Amino acid sequence: MDKQQIRETIARRVARELHDGDVVHLGEGLPKMVSCYIDADAGVMLLSESGVVGVDPVSVGARLSGGCRDGQGAAILLSPNAATFDSAMSHALMRGGHLDVCVLGAFEVDSKGNMANWIVPRTLVQGMGAAMDPLHGSKRVIVAMQHTAEGKHKIVSKCSLPLTGVGHVNLIVTEMCVMEVRPEGLVVTELNPRFSKEQVVAATGARLWWSPELIPMT
C-alpha cells in the first residue's frame, strides 16, 4: 500500500465510528481526512476549535477562500443549523465533556491507552497546543495513525515520549487492523485482509490479544 492508500484506508474505517448526533473533533493531518467519508446526511456535527459546531464535512481540507476559518486558518463552510461562538467557548466545550468523539493522530500509543502526540525530544515546538483539550474531555478517543513510522513501532507496551494524556485512548485504527484498549490490554477486533496476524505482531511493540469474534477490516 502506498501512503495515500494507507491514509484513505484508515480515514474510511474511522468514519464508520461516527454516528447520528455525535459532536466530533477531528485533529490535524490524517484525522481531518475522516471528513471525506462522512455522509452529508449522517447527522455528525463537527466541532472546530475556532468556534464552530456544524462544520460542513465536505469543506474540511478543501481549497476554499473567504468565509469562516478553522483553528489553523483554513477556510470552512457551515452546515445548516450550525452555531458559531468564540474559541474560548469552543475549548470549554471540549474540556467540559461535551464532545462525543475526538479523532487524533499520535507518535506513540501504549497498551494502557496512554498517548504521546505533541513533541519529539530534541525538537523545537511552541507547546502542547490544543490536543490535550479534546483528548481529556471527549467521551471516546480514537487514534488514527499509520501502524509504524519508518519501520519503528508506534504502538508500544509503554510510551517513551512525553505524554499528552494518560489512559484516554479507546480505539486505535491503523492500515493493518482495528484494536480496542481494554483492561487486559490491546485487543485486535478487525484485521485488514492484506496483512497476516504475524505481520501485525511484528509491527507492534506491545502484546496483542485477538478477539474470538475477529472480522475483516473494511
By annotation, the residues acting in catalysis are 49
What is the amino acid identity at position 100? Answer: D
Alpha-carbon gap, residue 51 to 190, rounded angstroms: 35
In angstroms and rounded to an integer, the radius of gyration of the C-alpha atoms of the chain is 17
Secondary structure of residue 56 in the 3-state scheme: coil
φ/ψ of 7, rounded to 5, equals -65, -40
Helices (H), the chain: 3-15, 30-33, 87-95, 132-137, 197-202
Which residues contact residue 124 at a Cβ distance below 8 angstroms, ignoring those fewer than 6 apart?
none
Q: Distance between CA 180 and CA 172 in Å, rounded?
A: 6
Contact 105, 65 (CB under 8 A): no
C-alpha cell at 20: 447520528
Q: End-to-end CA distance of the chain, in Å? A: 15
Q: What is the DSSP letter of 126?
A: S
